[in-house]
A and B are shown apart, each in its own frame.
Chain A
């Protein structure tokens, strides 16, 4: 099948065959990272703008490397959130960038819906690199690619996503993608960090780490934002870590020996993951990061390539 969408804004809107196409494309591009000369001409003459309204190290770098390995011209446009709020609106900024004829705009923004807004307003391809607590589709795709490489398939796998589900775009994109691919998803955390009615999106819910990690194939630990305490969502990092931190002891006592430990990063060592787990044999965290470049190459090729086909 061929990719037909102008943009990649959500996983929720995709069907299983589209998700599989994205994962397959990424898988086929992975070997570029092993070459001595990491450069293919796929997107020569194409311009990619990384429009980041939130600080980001790995996602922005990952998109930048992906674009450069594909021979595109990559421009990074970082906007400090507060100065953007006072000045030019998101739509105005984006239209100014569009006037310079980019082929793809990769956008990260603190507001849910920002990528959808740009996709509607702009004629070029939009890639959502994270919009508020809504979605982060390329993160879910790299997680899926990592899981498939380790487990060989998707159908029938059971994943526990643990932590601050309520504020996590990673959890939402993964939940949608995993459900569409036939996986079971349990979200787990203290009730204050579980969004209301998440069962209606197809998730099972657990309020006890020991229960959530039993008999699952994958445990995905989420980063806990420090400011959650000030809003009364958890009493302290200490208590959170005691009940929701994943340690070797808890793993040994409750999880399967072949479980995968994933984390979208950056890790709060000692809060959601003990260092021994983060660096341990179960952990595929650095593999996720490596897969991120392949996934972003795949997304860029499909979106920019679609445009070239249309013009031909």
Chain B
């Protein structure tokens, strides 16, 4: 089966392409990219005039919740949400029940992805058994089973010696350790950013330093071990500065930022909407500006959603009792196009790179390129369509978003995985 995507603007950062071109796909791979390609016999034609054709977007930070929390999300619903949001691949975090700290859980997730998933799924294994921070999980076997990185996401590993050993032990596999950078003591009992808003609202706030001290620690451990440490959901101006300095020194540190930390500040918490509660918390305007700048200059390598589905019951009560996190897969691309690209603060080609080429590079995933022979994973954008965010229409099983009712310009038009259109 083959597919010819006609007349789009092709942005392929991996190959330095930004031009009007056709993309020919056959047998699940990219065959050719170029102007006015000849259509082979029996090819299906997709007219992408006025659209932007990109390598498939990859979200390296997603909670699919299966096994164990199928009432929040499953591999089936989560991958459909990904496809609807323009993502052709997701990496799923290990905080399932049971935890993905052994091969049988990894195998289960991959089997579910094969039988029920519609986009590619790459599991991330736990660093420590049961995410308890006490002893290492069986990291070699997890890597062999297909885990592309290791993280106790949700829980910081407070034992620096253990974290150092995890970095050393995984060196031969080339898999990064992904750090949920949060000092558990500084952040204990908190539910938002510490600042004037937390003071006004009477909520316990975590200082930015709770994140920064752990980013600093993990950079130092990466320097000590030579390992690649990736900072998840970086959210402070201080952490940006630390990562920028470390990269200049040649430390193998990379970082991601979420769409919500790029567009919302702590002011959104006024009104106590539990859908503005996440970890790390929404920060200040100064932090947001630093994050956008760092994303543009490459200090922050990629965008990841931290898609964190929760049921209504977990997100409707008092703010301090509510669960942390929001869904992100189905709003990310539209938010980023509207606020950053149309907002004039990030070039489109940079956004495309931070969603495709860069995450593929960080975790050494196939994809992130439209070069000949690459997997035929393609995201096509409509930059001008206006959409209203309506959680009732989400493919995700959960609805916990602070963006309900927002009107956004630009959204994913088609999502193609292995040459097959999976959305719409």
A contacts, CB < 8 Å to B: 12, 85, 89-91, 109, 111-114, 116-117, 131-135, 169, 172, 195-198, 200-201
Contact = CB atoms under 8 A, between A and B. Distances in A.
Interface stretch (B111-119, B176-184, B300-308, B314-322): B314-322
Contacts of A112: 201-203, 272, 318-320
Interface residues of B, number: 20
Contact of B201 (A89, A91, A113, A198): A113
A135 B202 contact: yes
Interface in B272-320: 272, 313, 316-320
Given A133-B203, A134-B201, A134-B202, A113 B195 contact: no
B195 A85 contact: no
B370 to A, nearest CB: 48
Nearest to A113: B272
Nearest to B322: A111
Given A85-B321, A111-B321, A116-B272, A195 B316 contact: no
Contacts of A90: 317-318
Contacts of B198: 195-196
Contacts of A132: 202-203, 320
Interface of B: 194-196, 198-203, 205, 207, 271-272, 313, 316-321
Contact of A109 (B203, B205, B318): B318
Contacts, number: 65
A52 to B, nearest CB: 15
A89 B202 contact: no
Contact of A169 (B196, B202, B271): B202
5 contacts: A90-B317, A133-B202, A133-B203, A134-B203, A195-B198
- Between B196, B198, B202, B271, the greatest number of chain A beta carbons within 10 A of the residue's beta carbon is seen for B202
A90 B274 CA distance: 14
Contacts of A169: 202
Given A90-B318, A113-B272, A132-B320, A172 B196 contact: no
Contacts of B200: 12, 172, 201
Main secondary structure of the interface of A (DSSP, over half): mixed
B202 A172 contact: yes
B316 A89 contact: yes
A295 B271 CA distance: 26
A200 B199 CA distance: 10
Contacts of A117: 272, 317-318
Given A91-B316, A112-B319, A196 B196 contact: yes
Contacts of A135: 202
The 6 A-B residue pairs whose C-beta atoms are closest, nearest first, are: A113-B272, A111-B318, A134-B202, A133-B202, A197-B196, A112-B202
B327 to A, nearest CB: 21
A111 B321 CA distance: 8
A90 B318 CA distance: 8
B3 to A, nearest CB: 49
Given A113-B272, A116-B271, A196-B205, A89 B199 contact: no
Contacts of B271: 116
Given A90-B317, A109-B318, A117-B317, A195 B203 contact: no
Given A111-B319, A112-B201, A196-B194, 4 more contacts: A111-B320, A195-B198, A201-B196, A201-B199
Contacts of B207: 196
Given A116-B271, A117-B272, A200-B196, A91 B203 contact: no
A91 B317 contact: yes
B202 A197 contact: no
A197 B319 contact: no
A257 to B, nearest CB: 34
A121 to B, nearest CB: 9
B114 to A, nearest CB: 38
Nearest to B313: A89
Nearest to A203: B199
A245 to B, nearest CB: 25
A195 B199 contact: yes
A195 B197 CA distance: 11
Contacts of B272: 112-113, 116-117
Nearest to A198: B199
B205 to A, nearest CB: 7
Nearest to A165: B199
Contacts of B319: 111-113
Given A116-B272, A196-B194, A200-B196, A89 B317 contact: yes
A143 B218 CA distance: 51
Contact of B318 (A12, A114, A133, A196): A114
Contacts of A85: 321
Contacts of A131: 202
A203 B366 CA distance: 57
Nearest to B194: A196
A118 B201 CA distance: 16
A264 to B, nearest CB: 15
Contacts of A91: 316-317
A145 B232 CA distance: 52
Contacts of A195: 198-199
Determine which residue in B198, B200, B316, B317 has the highest number of CB atoms from chain A within 10 A of its CB, and name it: B200
